[in-house]
Structure 1
Amino acid sequence: MKTFLVTDAMPTGGCVSLGLQDAFLVDRPFLLHVVETLIAAGQRDITFLGSGLDETARPWLGDGARWGCEFEYVDCEPSRLASSVRRAASEARADHILLGHACRWMPITGEHLRCSNDELFVDLHVASEGTEDWQGWTIVPREWLEDLSTCDWTETSALVRELNRSAGVERRMPTLLDANSERSLLRSQWRVLHSDCPELALYGRELVPGIRQCRNVRIHRTARLQGPILLGDDVWIGKGVEIGPGTVIGHGSVIDRDTRIERSLVMPRTLVDPRLHLVDCWVDARQVRNVRVAGAAPSSIWQLTSAV
């Protein structure tokens, strides 16, 4: 079975969409978690479809040789996605295609991907999410994708949903993680830090329960840490800093004195200036976004962080 992995953002219902380069789930890019899960499930032939892949997916993943896989990249604008899927399907040799979305993670295994000839559509679905919308993963016949005539991804995903309702077999999945917006990414981060997704292997070690540290982490003796949190490689935590709960500090970041950070993600190589109180925030070297209001902080806040 071949995999088609769509990388452009899905509709977010008013939230700010994240690009692949901004979607880190705890210790590494969300996309890498998705790809590692697919490889563990036996998927070796993966085609990535989306815009800007040479700046996002390709530098991280390469040609797939290090995993013994074959990766192909089809760079296309969102308006041309359906035609690119149709063209890729016509060149595929597999009878069935696993059609998935890079901003949605499920604990897919080889057992979930087994389907008989009479199962035309197999929908991987999490009932607890409380929605009938397509959740990003389905198995479809290659011939159906070859005949795909819709012109954008919103229409395509709606069509997949209708086909699954009418002719599909539903396979229940235990959980779903979403990285399509800052809000959904932080919600997923909270769940992973609280061990809701044991299938994901994380970097670092828990020297103290709930406090996961990677290499070369420096913590001032007056700093206070409340788990669950993760501190990446080469992180520096300053005097009087309070971190946690539910927080990730990306590798190479510096948190200056007397700053408090809760339920937030600090992207790698970010310097956070002193005496800030950040709650439910997505932070990088350019800006701070508070996900509770789904908007960017004022420009004066942008200057409180910078690249390390």
Structure 2
Amino acid sequence: MQSVPNPKKFRSAILVTGSPLDESDQVPLAMERAVHLVPFLGKCPLVHVLESMVALGIEHITCIGWMNPDLARDVLGDGQRWGIALEWITVQGPEEVFQKISRLSVPSNEYVLVGSTNTLLDIRHVPTPVSSCAYGLNPSTNAWPWLVLNEQSLRQAGACQWHHWPLVPDQLGLPAIEVPGLPLQSGQDLLAAISPMLKGSLPVVVPAAQIESGIYISRNVVIHPTVVIQGPVYIGEDVYLEKGCRIAAGSVIGKQCRIGHDTTIANSIIGPESWLGAELECTQMVIWRGVAWSNRWKAEIEIRDTVLLGSGAWHLTMQRTLAQGLSLLSATLLMLLVLPVLPFLFLLAAMTKDLEIRPFVFPKRSHLHKPSRNIVCLFGAGPSTRGWKHLLGYVVPNLYLVILGQLHLTGMRLRTQTEWKACPPEVQKWLSRRSAGLIQEEWLNGPHSGDWLESIVQDRYQVARGRSLRYQAHLLWRYFFKLTTGSHEPLRS
């Protein structure tokens, strides 16, 4: 493999910020938001790719986009946030991307790095090339590569097409540098590969042809129900697999994944600290130490021909108990701190006529047609407000519900009757099994748009991690950090 040791070979880069699935109406995630803007763990694929570029020491990045350019600009922020020069170019559609790229100027003795939001390989894990080339796992993969272009190859790129990105290296005559991948031809290969994969010492590219269309499998991704995933494939850590997924043979599931009910997994490996749902069928599996499943549904889990290296059923109970204890302790301490000013808040809200008691639909109650819970809202605050208004007008007046065990401090966003009726029946059914809370992740990610499809993405993410003691503690810390500092910079989880 041709390479030089200096990772700062590149000074400039081009990031195509459009979604690779814009023209498809059959993609699950495309119905919610553009794929490159779907937030998971407070970040999206767009941010992951930009972070990889910045880590290389790149000083100037040109972002080219056509779908939701304003939203993409809001997600990335300005160059000052990243310590680089960030330039934005808006085009009419994907057909203009390479035409615009070919007109950009590059010094004759330098190379420019070109990536997109569908470039799954972390460029930091591979060497820097000597000449123009393309990074790829192997010639047969469909994963979109990084392109390394000089002035000449940049001019030739004008005839290329965005939707045929994997073919661009051949069209430009670029030599493809093969990155060491993961052999997934047999069960023994899986056993040999699981350790370096979980440690992150090998770069991993997920072949797009081997995944159900529209599913971006990376860290902290929520995979929608009834998805069929064709193996062999590597699913990163902190992935939440919804109920009804079918994962084919030859797959590796990273650590700390949540595997939903009614999921079928065969001839695969489940990493440590994962969660197994009810009615799960596991055939010829290797399950790593620390895997946990619900005691309630343990009898319904069928595991056949499996080398079970460790059972962690206690782990689920302990995590849930500690997380609930943290929520209760935090609510009690906060209640004691604000108790002297609470009557003043109610009096001030009553005098200004900003005191309102609003009925919200409670999960686990609404599907039984029981009355909604009344929530006190001061100064116009509500589930989607932010800052001190959210704390003093919505969280503080309702802390007694947390102390009484009727509500969680961290959990899903509560919904009004109108919002509830706007949700499709399958969404209502999913929500009815979840617990609501007062502090939501969307408060940190940005204002809520009002679209129920966008809100369900937030809910799925929060529920997937809501039982983690570490997540709850970090969410509370970020919540009060933003209150005390007034910072609107996204904090890493």
Q: Same fold (TM over 0.5)?
A: yes
Which residue of structure 1 lines up, in the alignment, with residue 433 of structure 2? 260
Q: Which secondary structure state, in structure 1, belongs to the residue aligned with residue 63 of structure 2?
A: strand
Q: Indicate how the Cα distance of structure 1 residues 182 and 64 shifts in structure 2: closer, same or farther if over 3 A, else same.
A: same
Identity of aligned residues (%): 16
CA contact 1:7–1:101 (8 Å) conserved in 2: yes
1:86 to 102, 111, 114: 102
Q: Distance in 2 between matches of 1:144 and 1:212?
A: 57
Quote how far apart the aligned CAs of 1:66 are. 2.9
Q: What is the identity, as a one-letter code, of the residue corresponding to 2:113?
A: L
CA contact 1:100–1:138 (8 Å) conserved in 2: yes
Q: Indicate how the Cα distance of structure 1 residues 69 and 196 shifts in structure 2: closer, same or farther if over 3 A, else same.
A: farther
Which residue of structure 2 lines up, in the alignment, with residue 303 of structure 1? none
Q: What is the identity, as a one-letter code, of the residue corresponding to 1:72?
A: E
For 1:1-308, list aligned pairs within 5 A: 1=10, 2-11=12-21, 14-16=26-28, 17=30, 18-19=33-34, 22-52=37-67, 54-77=69-92, 78-88=94-104, 90-91=105-106, 95-109=110-124, 112-117=126-131, 120-125=132-137, 132-150=141-159, 152-160=161-169, 167-172=175-180, 174-176=203-205, 183-184=215-216, 189=221, 191-193=236-238, 196=254, 254-255=413-414, 259-261=432-434, 268=442, 285-288=450-453
State TM-score, norm by structure 1: 0.57
Which residue of structure 1 lines up, in the alignment, with residue 312 of structure 2? none
Q: Which structure features the higher share of strand residues?
A: 1
User: Which sections of structure 2, spanning at least 5 residues, go unmatched?
Assistant: 1-9, 181-201, 223-235, 240-252, 257-317, 333-362, 365-386, 396-400, 416-427, 458-493
Q: Indicate how the Cα distance of structure 1 residues 20 and 59 shifts in structure 2: closer, same or farther if over 3 A, else same.
A: farther
Q: Indicate how the Cα distance of structure 1 residues 241 and 138 shifts in structure 2: closer, same or farther if over 3 A, else same.
A: farther
Q: Which secondary structure state, in structure 2, belongs to the residue aligned with residue 175 of structure 1?
A: coil
Q: What is the identity, as a one-letter code, of the residue corresponding to 2:221?
A: Q
Q: Distance in 2 between matches of 1:30 and 1:147?
A: 28
User: Which sections of structure 1, spanning at least 5 residues, go unmatched?
Assistant: 199-207, 225-232, 243-247, 271-282, 292-308
Quote how far apart the aligned CAs of 1:34 are. 2.2
Q: Distance in 2 between matches of 1:99 and 1:138?
A: 5
Quote how far apart the aligned CAs of 1:153 are. 0.8
Q: Distance in 2 between matches of 1:211 and 1:146?
A: 60
Q: Indicate how the Cα distance of structure 1 residues 155 and 32 shifts in structure 2: closer, same or farther if over 3 A, else same.
A: closer
CA contact 1:4–1:99 (8 Å) conserved in 2: yes
Q: Distance in 1 between matches of 2:320 and 2:46?
A: 25
1:224-265 per-position Cα deviation (integer Å, ceiling 9, x unaligned): 9xxxxxxxx9898987789xxxxx97xxx5146973259xxx
Query: Which gives a bigger RCO, structure 1 or 2 (Cα 8 Å, sep 6+)?
Result: 1
Q: Which secondary structure state, in structure 1, belongs to the residue aligned with residue 70 of structure 2?
A: coil
1:50-90 per-position Cα deviation (integer Å, ceiling 9, x unaligned): 115651232233431233211111111212111111112x3
Q: Distance in 1 between matches of 2:49 and 2:123?
A: 9
Q: Indicate how the Cα distance of structure 1 residues 29 and 155 shifts in structure 2: closer, same or farther if over 3 A, else same.
A: closer
Q: Distance in 2 between matches of 1:211 and 1:51?
A: 47
Q: Indicate how the Cα distance of structure 1 residues 112 and 209 shifts in structure 2: closer, same or farther if over 3 A, else same.
A: farther
Q: Indicate how the Cα distance of structure 1 residues 28 and 261 shifts in structure 2: closer, same or farther if over 3 A, else same.
A: farther
* Mean CA deviation greater in 76-85 or 58-67: 58-67
Larger radius of gyration: 2
**How large is the RMSD of aligned CA atoms in angstroms?**
5.0
